[in-house]
Amino acid sequence: MFASTRWRLTLWFVAVLALILSVIGVAVFFTARAVLLDAVDDSLRDRATTEVRSLAPRLLEQRQRQQPLRDIIVGPTFTAGGYFYALVNRDGDLVGGTPNVDPEGLASQEAIDKAAAGEPTFDNTDSSTGEDLRVYVVPVESPWGGRVVLEVGRSIEPEQEALRRLVFILGGGGGVGLVLALVAGFFLAGRALRPISDAMDRQQAFVADASHELRTPLSLIRANAELLQRHPRKTVGASKGAVDDIISETDRLSTLVSQLLTLAKADAEATTFVFTEIALHDLVEDVGKQVGVLADRKGLQLDVRLDGPARVRGDEVRLRELLLILLDNAIKFTDAAGTVALTLAVDGGKAVVQVRDSGRGIPPDMLPHVFDRFYRADKARSREEGGAGLGLAIAKWIVEGHRGSIRVDSYPGMGTTVTVELPVH
Nearest to 406, CA basis, from 397, 396, 393: 396
Highest mean pLDDT among 141-145, 260-264, 266-270, 376-380: 260-264
Highest mean pLDDT among 62-71, 134-143, 219-228, 414-423: 414-423
**How far is residue 156 CA from its own chain's centroid?**
47
Q: Residue 394 class from Cβ within 10 Å (0-12 exposed, 13-18 middle, 19+ buried)?
A: buried
The phi, psi pair for 42, rounded to 5°, reads -65, -40
The secondary element (H helix, E strand) that includes residue 42 is: helix 2-64
Give the C-alpha separation, 101 to 151, whole Å: 10
Asked whether the whole model's pTM tops 0.75, one would answer no
Nearest to 359, CA basis, from 411, 323, 284: 411
**Nearest 10 degrees: Cα torsion 262, 268, 270, 271:** 40
**303 touches 341 (CB < 8 A):** yes
Q: CB-based contacts of 7: which residues, under 8 Å, 6+ apart?
A: 186, 189
Give the C-alpha separation, 20 to 32, whole Å: 18
The phi, psi pair for 363, rounded to 5°, reads -60, 145
Instruction: Give the model confidence (pLDDT) of 82-133 as tens digits.
Output: 899 988 888 888 888 888 888 899 999 999 999 988 899 999 999 988 899 9
What structural domains does the chain harbor? 276-423 (3.30.565.10)
First to last CA, the chain: 49
